[in-house]
Structure 1
């Protein structure tokens, strides 16, 4: 099933290139000015997740934090029969005991899950997260270069880095909470993005076997036809996963909310980049080769 064989995706991609460049510049500025809203996983502190039998408000808990003397360094996130309190410092044993004791006075059925990260552990987690992304990109470049060619690898990595950076940009602009589940979401998005991109690249390679690429227009038609032949599969796959991630965001617990949101954002940008970023970038790289008479002759033979 074809989406629209007459649609010129290569031509349309010029407008989306500009949009992506603008979003990237906004993201760089946002990260330079605001940075990311790191959670306890990436900075020293304590995270207290409380399960309740009734709903408590921030106003009810604030006096308890004042009693602890650390109300200025705490972020309270109330929910439906749940509450999350993030402290910028590591809770002492006395404060931990006092907090639980006072919360139990408000709800005697409350249960607590306390996670504490020291400074060294936070730095190590942040470094490992960056290494994980870099290693995955290197692995993808090697795999795609062997399976296809280096132009496909470059285009694929640019597209997946674009998707990951767009998610980071959204989280930076809106000051959304970044923790380990966010990193897991970014790595998942990278995996999804490369899988979707490979489908189109595989069709391009297959169509190249039966195409005589003598002019730039032939290459344009090749890319447009390949995208049109696979676009519905890409959109259906993206829509299916998007619906699951969206309802997970709406109905899931507080602990996976940011993971679900990152997935929703990443899936949207992934579907967009697969069609209007990855294949057109390969076209740009390939067209430069086709403009070289020697290489053109070699490629045609």
Structure 2
């Protein structure tokens, strides 16, 4: 079988450029997390979330005008099919009297019937959610690494895991840098990103393994050429897969309700990062580790005397 493919761009030769760009992004992300930290939502910081249904269509300006006398700081988002739902997020833990007063004020100012679902997160619960989230990401990463080790080899597993952790970190770093709110849907987006990211990497590494069966690479130059060919052979498939999900996530971001905009934004960032890392980080990282591996010398067949 012939696996020769035209290499339009040498990813392995330019690997140091990709590593440098990625390192700069990591440093910027670390600095942002150290000085700005994350803009935690109610799910991860103590506070009160009020999901309110209104009997007519409203705007955010109407809500702000109605609550201008409220002493507590809040963030309001209006959504629903007919713009008849409003979500109020308070950094404080409000008691029953405070929430009842807010409901009464809205009912009077908006001249409409209102009903609400109130969720309160106390500090201890917020810490527990944060700890469980960290464990979820770590366990997911470990499970993926073990799976890849069983299917391929430890070098591929290490390169793939470093890449998916990079993808997750980039999403977190950008949310920290631009002060987007981090809540439970955000965590779901990060875990979904990891799933799509590892799928791209498995496709590339599976093609590399298949090509090595028919054309074993014994020199670094041969290995680099084989990896480049494998990347280009899977390029179209990876682009189409990512682009399909990207279009859906973009449509949700542009036309969806306010409550899921940040979820779709995290997905968009993760999809782009995953496509980039599959080509520009995972495969070059594996090449760096693999090229130094000593090639086992093939035993010479014993000579037969006539």
After TM superposition, is the score higher than 0.5? yes
Taking the aligned partners of 1:183 and 1:3, their CA distance within structure 2 comes to 39
Partners of 2:275 and 2:111 in 1: how far apart?
A: 46
Unaligned 5+ segments in structure 2 are 301-306
Pick the aligned partner of 1:29 from 28, 31, 42.
31
Distance 1:138 1:122, change over 3 A: same
**Ranges in structure 1 where 5+ consecutive residues have no aligned partner:** 290-294
Selected match of 1:84 from 82, 87, 97: 87
In 1, Cα distance between the equivalents of 2:63 and 2:198?
Answer: 47
Give the aligned partner of residue 292 of structure 1. none
Distance in 2 between the 1:300 and 1:56 partners? Answer: 78
CA RMSD of aligned residues (A): 2.2
> How much does 1:61 deviate?
3.0
Q: CA deviation at 1:74?
A: 2.2
TM-score normalised by L of structure 2: 0.89
Moved more, 159-168 or 49-58: 49-58
Residue 252 and residue 155 in structure 1: after superposition, are their counterparts in 2 closer, same or farther (change >3 A)?
same
Q: Does 1:13 align with 2:15?
A: yes
Correspondence for 1:56: 59
User: Which of 249, 257, 263 is matched with 2:261 structurally?
Assistant: 257
Separation (CA, whole Å) in 1 of partners of 2:144 and 2:217: 27
Instruction: List per-residue Cα deviations over 1:209-238 (Å, max 9, x = no partner).
Output: 111322111000110011010011000000
User: Structure 2 CA distance, aligned partners of 1:216 and 1:160?
Assistant: 25
User: Are residues 4 and 162 of structure 1, via their aligned partners in 2, closer, same or farther at CA, if it must alter by over 3 Å?
Assistant: farther
SS in 1 for 2:276: helix
User: Which has the higher mean CA deviation after the structures are superposed, 98-107 or 197-206?
Assistant: 98-107
CA distance in 1, matches of 2:13, 2:213: 23
1:96 corresponds in structure 2 to: 99
Pick from 145, 150, 158: which aligns with 1:154? 158
The structure that is helix-richer by fraction is 1
- The answer to which of 262-271 and 206-215 deviates more is 206-215
| Partner of residue 121 from structure 2, selected from 108, 117, 124 | 117
Correspondence 1:102-181 to 2 at 5 A: 102-105=105-108, 106-181=110-185
Distance 2:213 2:33 in 1: 44
What's the counterpart of residue 297 of structure 1?
296
TM-score norm. by structure 1 comes to: 0.91
Q: Distance in 1 between matches of 2:4 and 2:57?
A: 53
Deviation of the 1:107 alpha carbon:
4.2
Offset at residue 82 of structure 1 (A) = 4.1
Query: Aligned pair 1:235/2:234, yes or no?
Result: no
Q: Does the 8 Å contact 1:43/1:117 carry over to 2?
A: yes
Deviation at 1:299, TM superposition (A): 8.1
Contact 2:77 2:258 in 1 (8 A): no
